Amino acid sequence: MSDFLMLDVHQLSTINHQPYTFNLQPPTLSVFNQSRKNVIMLVFASMFVIIILQLANLQIFSSKYKIMADDQGKFRKVIYPDRGIVYDRKHRPILQNMTIYDLMILPNKLKGIDTVAMCRILGIDSAQFAKKVVDVIVKNGRSRPSVFDALLTDEKMAMLNEAMYKFAPGFYLQERPVRSYPVDAGGNILGYLSEVDSNFLKKNITEGYQIGDYAGKTGLERTYEKVLMGQRGIEYWKRDNKNRLTERLEKGKFDTAAVAGNNMHLALDIELQALGEKLMANKLGAIVAVDPKTGGILAMISSPTFEPKLLTGATRKKHIAELLLNPALPLYNRTVSATYSPGSTFKTLQALVGLHEGVIKTSFRVACSGAFFGCGNGKPKCLDRGVFDLRGAITVSDNTYFATVMQKVINNPKYPSIDSSLSAWDKYMYAFGLGHKLGVDVPFEKSGYIPTPAFYNKIYGARHWNYCTFTSVSIGQGEVNVTPIQVANEMAFIANKGWYRIPHMVDSIEGGDKFNMLSKYQDQHNTTDIPDSVFEAVHDGMQNVVDRGTGIAAKVPGINICGKTGTVENYIHQVKQPNHAFFCGFAPRENPRIAIMCVVENSGRFGGTYAAPIVGLMIEKYLKDSITDKTRLERVEQLSKLNLIPPRIYKAIRTQDSMRHVRDSAYLVAKGYIKTIRDTMGLDDEDEQEALDKLKKDKESAKKEGQKKDSNRVPPKATIEGVLPDDRRRTEAKDTVKN
């Protein structure tokens, strides 16, 4: 029916539609409405124009969206290259890389994983496990991987590795390279890595470090950070809305590959280093051995030292606090950072100055009648009575002789005033490498101190002082301060008869010295024109020291060793401490291959007693490659066991321990010295020193409180103050030390 109807309509309309439509719509209305088409089109078009303008605004004229898009959609992933390996002079690796693992967790994939087994391996209960998971989710979200257990220990790793398939995909292991030290030696010189802090980032803004990166904090790791680090690689990744990295941007078109760090070869002999550390066990002090020809450091021992591997990997957090709070300062590199009065070892230099200035000849003789009376006060005293020429004076370490020599230098009429003569003397000292930083490639080097006219002018006022004000300087006491490395360098200078190369650890860098860090070690410092004959005389005296003088304990059969002992008086807050034992020397005399110094802090006795035998053994080990003689080996063991750590250290440890028991770490944090545990790159030596000073002061005040409370107790005589002599100490030597 409807079909029929429709057909009908269809036929009807096809036949005469023309007039029909015209009838339907009045022409006036139609014409009026026709124009409305344009209005409609105009409205539509203007809307599109608005849209296109806004698009232009967003896409062409404003750049912020591009930046915002890059911020959230791209990720710049830094690829860390392997750090360079460090070899000793015999190409034994002493600092290399090791891989340890972090246990990673993906919280959203935990379903169906045997968490009980995981708890058993990790040694935690399920409540702790749940808490850890919640922490991780709070910190990092569900869908992103987080570190569940960082730096797995070997035992955990062994257990996990076997069972890891059970825990996939909720858990996985992620490699993390750490530094390893194949030989347990040289902790202080090799240094360690730590996380960079904001200070470090500020200083190295162009190097591309980021928060969370590691950089060398001390030792060679710090000095040669650029060399060892290599070149970071950069990968650009796409990142999704859950902050997951999805794929490489443009298939890695913009990426740069990482370049591994360069390996370094040291002048260091790791066996010699290990022997030195063994000999210095149970002592405070330092040994520095230098190859006089090259300036390469053969051994550099600061005692007490630490096992370098304690500061890498899983155990680091625990040990760093321990080491930083230890009153014996194991992290303190005494070889470059500690300053001592040089004591009698300084006399050899006075001989050189006297001879070169022409105020004495080698035949110049001075009588020791018990003291130096040039200043009328009978100071310093001298022990070996008799009349000595230069050689003899060196051999017996005659205080009067060298006090006289320096008096002649200072009161030399060729200089118009004491200012100029002392300046001239200072110049000699600087030329010998004292009073300024040498430029060693081990960080935190101190400059030591050589007193200047300006210094005395400031203290006593201009023209209110004369030689007698600082007589003790002539025998290496008083205002003069040196670092062990400076003493070793001074020996190299004497051994070479007038020149030295700056002592340095690194001999060569594989792939070339790109950062021009080694060229200064090639320069020969010929700073004076002292003739060889002068040196020969000094050598004679020094050889006599070892052959039949105060340093006879250093003697090694078959080797001509030149040496000089020193016994250094020292004070902590005006309280006299046991003497430091010094010995320095070089060998063999004919063709010096090793220049060495040793200091044993507060050992008491004389330099010849403790420091000389240590130096003897070191020289023997280096020149003969090994110590074979049984009695000599016994001597090594004997010396190693010899405990010369001053009682104040033990006292400090005890105080610290009791403090720790009485007041827990919260107290330490509140007082501010736990900040040293923060263990970040910004902690330079000054900071550490500051923190430790604070610690000491605090202990002192704690003790005072204790005393007040318990008046019956006998007050302790010695304070537990600094291990090191104060810089620029103004107290004069009260007693003559002659050695």
Partner 1 sequence: MYQKNPTIGKGFDWILIWLFVIFVMVGLLCIFSVEYRTTDNVIESFLGFKKNYSKQLFYFIACIILAAFILLSDSKLFTATANISYLIGIVLILATFVIGKEIKGSKSWIPLGFMNLQPVELCKIFTSLALAKYLSMLDMDFRKSQSQIIAAAISFAPAALSIMQGETGLALVYFSFLIPMYREGLPPGYLITGAAMAILLIASLLFSTKVLLIALACIGLIFIYFNRRQIKRSTTMLAWIISIWAFCSVFVGIVVPFAFKHVFKPYQADRIFSMVGVDNPFADKNAVNIVNLEEQKAKQKKSDQQNYNVKQSKIAIGSGGLLGKGFLKGTQTQGDFVPEQHTDFIFTSVGENFGFWGSTLLMLMYMGLIFRIIAVAERQRSTFSRVYAYSVASIIFFHVAVNICVTIGLAPVIGITLPLISYGGSSLLTFTILIFILIRLDADRQMVLR
Amino acid at 474: S
Segments of 590-686 assigned E as strands: 594-600
Residue with Cβ nearer partner 1 (41 or 158): 41
Q: How far is the CB of 79 from partner 1 (least distance, A)?
A: 20
Strands 86-87 and 93-105, bridge-based pairing? antiparallel
Residue with Cβ nearer partner 1 (59 or 128): 59
Q: How many whole angstroms separate alpha carbon 134 and alpha carbon 148?
A: 11
Q: How far is the CB of 210 from partner 1 (least distance, A)?
A: 21
Q: How many whole angstroms separate alpha carbon 566 and alpha carbon 347?
A: 9
Q: How far is the CB of 169 from partner 1 (least distance, A)?
A: 16
Residue with Cβ nearer partner 1 (28 or 516): 28
Q: How many whole angstroms separate alpha carbon 397 and alpha carbon 392?
A: 8
Residue with Cβ nearer partner 1 (80 or 237): 237
Q: Is 63 exposed, middle or buried (0-12, 13-18, 19+ CB in 10 A)?
A: exposed
Long-range contact set of residues 718-721: C-beta below 8 Å, sequence gap at least 24: 718/572, 718/575, 718/577, 718/647, 718/648, 718/651, 719/572, 719/573, 719/575, 719/648, 720/327, 720/648, 720/651, 720/652, 720/655, 720/696, 721/572, 721/573, 721/575, 721/648, 721/696
Q: How far is the CB of 76 from partner 1 (least distance, A)?
A: 13
User: Could you tell me if 598 and 626 are in contact, meaning their C-beta atoms sit under 8 angstroms apart?
Assistant: no
Which residues would be at the binding site for partner 1 (CB under 8 A)?
2-3, 6-7, 9-10, 13-14, 17, 20-21, 24-25, 29, 32-34, 36-37, 39-41, 44-45, 47-48, 50-52, 54-56, 58-60, 62, 64-66, 68-70, 72-74, 238-242, 246-247, 249-250
Both tokens assigned to 564: 């000089």
Give CA separation, 591 vs 298, 394, 492, 497, 527, in Å: 16, 21, 12, 11, 21
DSSP 296: B
Helix crossing, 484-495 with 532-548: angle to 10°? 120
Q: How far is the CB of 239 from partner 1 (least distance, A)?
A: 6
Q: How far is the CB of 66 from partner 1 (least distance, A)?
A: 5
Q: How far is the CB of 27 from partner 1 (least distance, A)?
A: 14
Both tokens assigned to 673: 């010295």
Say how far residue 673 (Cα) sits from the centre of its chain: 20
Q: How many whole angstroms separate alpha carbon 498 and alpha carbon 320?
A: 43
Residue with Cβ nearer partner 1 (145 or 261): 145
Residue with Cβ nearer partner 1 (249 or 359): 249
Q: How far is the CB of 242 from partner 1 (least distance, A)?
A: 8
Q: How far is the CB of 17 from partner 1 (least distance, A)?
A: 5
Residue with Cβ nearer partner 1 (65 or 373): 65
Residue with Cβ nearer partner 1 (20 or 373): 20
User: Could you tell me if 279 and 286 are in contact, meaning their C-beta atoms sit under 8 angstroms apart?
Assistant: no
Q: How far is the CB of 77 from partner 1 (least distance, A)?
A: 14
User: Could you tell me if 100 and 152 are in contact, meaning their C-beta atoms sit under 8 angstroms apart?
Assistant: yes
Residue with Cβ nearer partner 1 (14 or 631): 14
Residue with Cβ nearer partner 1 (242 or 704): 242
Q: How far is the CB of 240 from partner 1 (least distance, A)?
A: 4
Picking from 527, 590, 538, the residue whose alpha carbon sits closest to that of residue 564 is: 538
Residue with Cβ nearer partner 1 (206 or 241): 241
Q: How many whole angstroms separate alpha carbon 318 and alpha carbon 669?
A: 16
